[in-house]
């Protein structure tokens, strides 16, 4: 349904044009001296990041410092632009978490390919990969733009959840009971 806006014919003063120019000048003058500045001076001032923001994908550790990723490679399979490369590795037998079986030996995310879709985060059964607040990645070479495992953990930090799923599994296995 089109809306026709009826225009009133211009009054004599409006046709003179000069009073309307003066009105316009007062508007801009007021903007100039009493208007607020909306510029965000970027590198020093940062915009507020809303909750659930999808920034750079990172790997996280649990509160005990264990790396959460178990190298299941689901994120690698689901990644639409194939930005993720995982080389699975063994966990040393003398580790407290030897029963977890696997951990990533290498974990690379190519930030030149990543499209920040968040599917890796959605698919991860261990909640080990998270898209966090960091949004400005830059580098001088293509190699620099590939985040390796150390960089990913550095960016990711610790996820403060208190599930300790693998501790419970280990306890259950030792006490003969079943864990979920």
Partner 1 sequence: MELTDIAIKSIYAVIVVSVLMGFCSYAVLAERKISSWIQGRVGPNRTTLPIIGSIPYIGRFLTRLGVFQPAADGLKFLFKEDVTPGHVNKVYFILAPVLSLVPALTTVVVVPFGYFENAAGEVVNLVLADLNVAILFLFAISSLGVYGVVLGGWASNSKYPFLGGIRASAQMISYELAMGISVLPVFMWLNAPGTEGTLSLVDVVNSQGGALWNAMWMPGSFLIFVVCIFAETNRLPFDMAESETELVSGFHTEYSSFKFGLFFVGEYAHMLVGSAVVAILFLGGWHPMPFMTWADFGVHGWLAGVLSVGTMIGKLCGFMFFFMWIRWTLPRFRYDQVMRIGWQMLLPLSIANLIVYTFVIYFLERP
Site for partner 1, rule CB under 8 A: 18, 21, 24-25, 27-29, 31-33, 35-39, 41
Find the shortest distance in angstroms from Cβ 44 to partner 1. 11
- Write the CA distances from 15 to 6, 7, 18, 26, 59, integer angstroms: 18, 14, 8, 19, 67
Is 179 known to sit in a ligand binding site? no
**Contact yes or no for 151/137 (Cβ under 8 A):** no
Cα torsion 124, 129, 130, 134 to 10°: value is -150
Cβ proximity to partner 1: between 13 and 172 the closer is: 13
Find the shortest distance in angstroms from Cβ 18 to partner 1. 8
- Write the CA distances from 169 to 129, 172, 179, integer angstroms: 21, 5, 6
Cβ proximity to partner 1: between 20 and 96 the closer is: 20
Find the shortest distance in angstroms from Cβ 70 to partner 1. 48
Extract the annotated binding site: 69, 72, 75, 79, 114, 117, 120, 124
């Amino acid at each position: 349904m089109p809306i026709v806006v009826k225009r009133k014919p211009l009054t004599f003063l409006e046709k003179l044009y000069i009073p309307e120019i003066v009105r316009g000048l007062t508007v801009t003058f007021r903007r100039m001296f009493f208007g607020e500045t909306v510029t965000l001076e970027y590198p020093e001032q940062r915009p507020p990041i809303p909750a659930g923001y999808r920034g750079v994908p990172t790997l996280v550790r649990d509160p005990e410092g264990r790396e959460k990723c178990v190298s299941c490679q689901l994120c690698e399979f689901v990644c639409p632009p194939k930005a993720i490369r995982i080389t699975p590795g063994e966990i040393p037998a003398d580790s407290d978490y030897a029963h977890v079986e696997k951990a990533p030996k290498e974990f690379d995310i190519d930030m030149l390919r990543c499209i920040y879709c968040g599917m890796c985060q959605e698919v991860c059964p261990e909640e080990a990969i998270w898209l966090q607040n960091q949004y400005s990645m830059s580098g001088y070479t293509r190699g620099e733009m590939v985040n390796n495992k150390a960089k990913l953990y550095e960016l990711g930090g610790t996820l403060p959840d208190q599930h300790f799923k693998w501790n419970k599994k280990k306890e259950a296995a030792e006490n003969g009971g079943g864990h979920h």
